Structure 1
Amino acid sequence: MVKNLKNKHRLNLLGLIETKRGIVTRYDVARLWGEDGAGWEYVGSEGASVGLLLIWDESVEERQGDGALPRSAEDFKAWIQDMELVDFPLTDRMFTWFRGRSCSRIDRAMFSLEWLEEFLETRVRGGPRGLSDHCPIIVEDNKMRGGPRPFRSLDSWFTHEGFIRMVKEEWRGLGEIQFTDKLKALSIPLRRWHKANFSDMDKKITTFEEEIKKIDDLVSNGVYDGTMEARRKALKHSPMVGFRDGLVGRICQDEAVKLEMLPSAEEIREAVWDCESSKAPGCDGYNMNFIKRCWEEIGLEFTTAVIGFFQTSRLPAESNISWVALAPKFVGAREIKDLRPISMVRCVYKVISKVLVRRMR
């Protein structure tokens, strides 16, 4: 009833008396208001006092510097209400997009009421935006617990003049063990080296992020001058089956034999260089840029690992592990068919796949 009243009259402010509630939560407000783009204050019921609740539409103050909301924004708000989604406010900032003196809360995190019943202490904050116009949206809940930070190779390591020399020394010191095990073992000295040589980089990034946040806060509060934008920018897997044209067709025996032939060292190297250097790494933590830049030292063993698959038709268990992330194809995705799988595989598996794909072209 309250929600229908609010929608019918397009209310921006609503006051209720005799709530008979000692405590009013965000969940209560979302059920009444229809979305969580709302602020509220209440007086709980106690004894003869039956309680007061005041709710208002915070989106009226969500945009600064660009005037009234366009029709598309009004349609979007109506869609949120129809889907019964809760549009959470940010706990640490007013806006998520900044350009010059204009700022707006374009980026949002929305939840179903079922989600909020399961995760009662959900909160949303804006992450550091760096040089982007947009802030990332971070969803947190007390049920979530952080784990150990996974290993990741960084392209910035190659800017250090002693990095390649260190990799060569550590790689040779690991002796004759399986290539994938060797990569895993190498991550330990790489972590140590990063801490000794790049720990200050993390501190510098944090300092820059804090500086940008200060500028954003000033703009959010209406303080802006011509030097701010310049200051902000300165901080900155049957081999007999093939796929053609989307249809499945059988390939001839000669084509199948060609797929199973041992690749040459040059063919493997070309496949490595055909891979995007800085795409997200698999669960081993190494991207292809690391493999390319350290090819002089690890290339022979990498090539042997790839040839080993064509000789035995087997992969070490560690090489066959993939991480799969499901990305929604559109806002409001609810079913599996609405999600796009993104597979992050280890570097050896990736190159074997690239060799086979290049042969099928």
Structure 2
Amino acid sequence: MNSLWSANNITCNTHFFEMEVDCDHCASLVTIGHNMRVGSRPFKFFNMWLKHEVFTNILTNHWFQDLHGTPQFRLACKLKRLKGPLKELNYNAFGHISEKAKAANIEYKRVHALLLLSPLDEDIKNEVALAKKSALYLKKVEEDFFRKKAKANHLFQSDRGTKYFHSIVRKNVVKNSIMSIKLANGYPTTSLDQVGCEFVSFYTDLFGSSDPNVEIDPDIILSGKCIDSSKATEVIAPISDIEIKNVLFDIGDNKSPGPDGYTSAFFKHNWDIVGHDVILAVRGFFNSGKLLKQTNHTVVALIPKTSHDPSAADFRPISCTNVIYKVITKIIASRMIPCLPELIDPSQGAFIDGRLMLDNVFIAQELVKGYTRKRMSPRSMIKVDLRKAYDTISWDFLKSVLLTIGFPTRFVQWIMECVSTSSYSISINGILHGHIKGKRGLRQGDPMSPLLFVVCLEYFSRLLHMRNKVSSFKFHPKCGKLNISHVAYADDRMLFSRGDYPSIKVLIDALEQFGTVSGLRVNFDKSNIFLGGLVDHDLAHILDLIDFKEGTFPVRYVGIPLAPLKIAVAQYAPLLESITNFITAWNTKSLFYAGRVKLIKSVIQGVHSFWLQALPIPKTVLDRITSICRIFLWGCKFARVAWADICLPKEEGGLGIHDNRVWNSALLAKTLWNIHIKKDNLWVRWIHGVYLNGKGVWEFTPHKRDSQLIKKIARIRDQILSHFANIHDAVTFLNGCQINGKLSSAKVYNLLGMKVMFGIK
């Protein structure tokens, strides 16, 4: 399939059937020129409209009209009434924008040629000025349009050609089109009517049904900390006008709109006109505790999790909500955030200020070390996957936990009004299907959903801590001192215990009890148990008594591979694959070199930075990443400049691209610094108890059997110390490298990269 095929919007769908027993080939069905029905597409506001000279007049003429009803109703009516005139503006001024931009450019060239023949003609000069203004305006509008469609914000100031954005948009259309799915009965269909009905049926069952649950045990919540009276008063403090404005202005201009179609840019750019109505609508909610049905409607966008023979369950539902709803829930979330660090167990690493995702990855990696050794004490680890966790949580459970943990009744009423009045339409190929009334679950994409989710999971943490006190439970080796029985990042959790059936049963019983009260059930198909230090017959006996399948290493936790031995180069394939996928999604020929450099800096190096700050990456893998970046930069041509020179700072003649080896060390230096300053962090406390044994991180000496991470951190420490006369000077320097309380990896990179810059190995 070449670019001409894509440019002409020729659709194609391929389905591979299962292999027959008497044949070593799979039959395939290819459908070319698939009938992509357009239908009635919902209104969508484009930020380019804001640049038109008549936009403000259209807005003022249709906004300031008397309406009756609540502030939310009046705002919804004004937004709805404005859609017709804006559609007309789009049709007249922006329809077929690429053709108009091309025609304006041709016209500019024509009149400019006339000016060359008659350079003193004032009329032609004026005509050239007008043609240039029109051509530049339409070109900018076209770029903005396709940049938004392509969602290529990373190239905002680097590449001004629209050909690249055209190619990205075409690829996104193909990628996000749902041309066929596997029905619930197991048979595939390419009928778009059946596709729509299948998704509506699936999400009606997922969102629109609920199972009866057992009431919570308040003693479990009350066994831990609850909200103190001062914080309880703060969360229901009056909402100010400036708070509403600041929250709205914090929403990105190009975030996907909700059902009303309006982006935050519409409200921001016209705040003097629409701001008063927005403030009244938001205030109206917090005063009355009631939310308009239109305000709380949701468009569900479907993100495919697999490209091969997907069913309705193989798509991730992302909720697109209206800007006004986002403002309301962002205010609620901002009130919750300061309360959570004291409430949420240290084992939870998600969405809590001051906690890092990688801390729990480090703990898990340290605990699985040596699982394959012989003559070691019995141990077990359970990787738990919760089935459709966000989508199936019980609303009664959520409300009970919030009230019991101490949130004021009024605050909980605000939350439950937002949660329990939700409704959904499913977006399939740009067309909305169905109208589903929600009965359970939290919306992925709702600003307050992650916080509510971790509060709900706190019930499980406290339940586990109570169960850990029974005599039959024994902790995993190296976990007893800190009472570590689990680590979690949102719903990604690992459970640890001694490798005996009574201890494992305590964990499994806790999972079962949690499921009966919360609605969150274990997905046994994606969950595994890992056992070490057991003889074969003991291992087989335990597996016979439980529903978990035995897993194999390496296992991925929040995307990072965990292994009992040094991670093999082959296990970095997902990292290399993700980078390669980004490369293949971009059309190199459509990008100038500046755009390619920007993509390498902001996307490729952004993708692998998560891995680089989690693991000491082997040189072979880092060299492969460098090779991918080099080929992308030069377009498979001969490299015109050595990569070492490209990695120099711009002021020294380079392009400022990071050297991967130095960048790996600079990112891991954050962990070194966190061990130094974060004494109350669970991971740091574990390091002090297991490795440091009363010494500081600047003095300890790693042993031969210590983990690769600990050895790498020690080497980075020695590299940093080599630049200073003593430890005090090094600590003073790193303290000055902090930005908003966090160590700047870029500043550490400059320090560690000094030897690289001057060619010193």
Q: Taking structure 2 as the reference length, what is the TM-score of the superposition?
A: 0.25
Q: Considering fraction of residues, name the structure with more helix.
A: 2
Q: TM-score, normalised by structure 1?
A: 0.49
Higher relative contact order (CA 8 A, sep 6+): 2
